[in-house]
Structure formats: structure tokens, C-alpha cells
Structure 1
Amino acid sequence: MAAAAVPVALAAAAAVLKARRWQLYADRHRIHLTPYPRRSCPDCRGEGGWWAGGPFPEMEACGCWSDRRELRIRLLPVPAWDEPPF
């Protein structure tokens, strides 16, 4: 069943990537789409945010990308480790 869902999920991901600005990460366990800042945004001008002043400045994210959800599609379960990876 999961093998049949992979082509459908990849086709949907390609359509989303064409419609908006998204970053795609895919492997055999998942498909992960994260939004990019819009280049035409009048607030951040494609930078993704701006620096807030003060003694310890922090980046404030612009709503053109931070208000959009990340999309995750789980394909295959990740195998459990029998022993630690180190």
C-alpha cells in the first residue's frame, strides 16, 4: 500500500513546489516540504525576516513564510536501533 502512495505523494509534492516556493526533502522514509520566504514580500524583501535591536539581537521571522505550515508525509517506518549509533 505504501508503494502505491509514493508516486501519488511525489506528484502532489511537485504540484505544490510549482505553485509556491517550497524546499523539498525526500528519502525512503518521508517527504518533507518547508516554505521559503517570498521574493516579492514587501516587508522582508525575500530575506525571510529582520533583526530586532537590543544588546542581544534576534531574527524576527516574516509572516510570508513562517505562518505557512511544514508538510510531512511519512512513507516507511524508521527502523529501531539495537545499539547506540556512537
Structure 2
Amino acid sequence: MMPVKRRIAKQRAISVADELQAWSVLFGSGFDFFDDLDDIGLPVSRREGHPMAKEAWRRLGAEYLRRHDAAEPCWALDRFGSPGGLE
């Protein structure tokens, strides 16, 4: 009998809107309280920030700020400054 070939799961494409939704709580507060990043396949971090937060902020921050209430605090803006595209 031939051994069964293991299949590697294909990574599914994530829309920008879904990725932004997953990062939104962390961008605002610095914490992923609801494990939203796990929903897009990123490891959960219980500490402030996330190892990939700065890169995500550079890509998604401008759109986040367009949708964000300016009266609310924004952890990522305070921590990383203006995202790419808003210089």
C-alpha cells in the first residue's frame, strides 16, 4: 500500500477590509482583546502591541484613520506616528 501524501493547506487571500477589521481594536487600544488577529491567521499576543503591528499600521493606518473617530484615542498613531500615505 502506498503512503498517503499530506496536503499543505493553501493560505486564503484576505481582503483589505477584513484585515483592517481584524487590526482595528489593536490599532485603537494596543491590545487584541477579542483575538481578532487569530481570525486572519496571526498568533495571539497577550502583551501590548503585536510583532507585526508596525508593518500593518504602515499599510492599513491611513484607511483606519479615515474611519476612526478623532475624539477616540489611537494607540498606533501615538506609538508609530503617521502611517504611510499621510506624511
Taking structure 2 as the reference length, the TM-score comes to 0.23
Name the larger-Rg structure: 1
- TM-score, structure 1 normalization: 0.23
Structure with the higher fraction of residues in strand conformation: 1
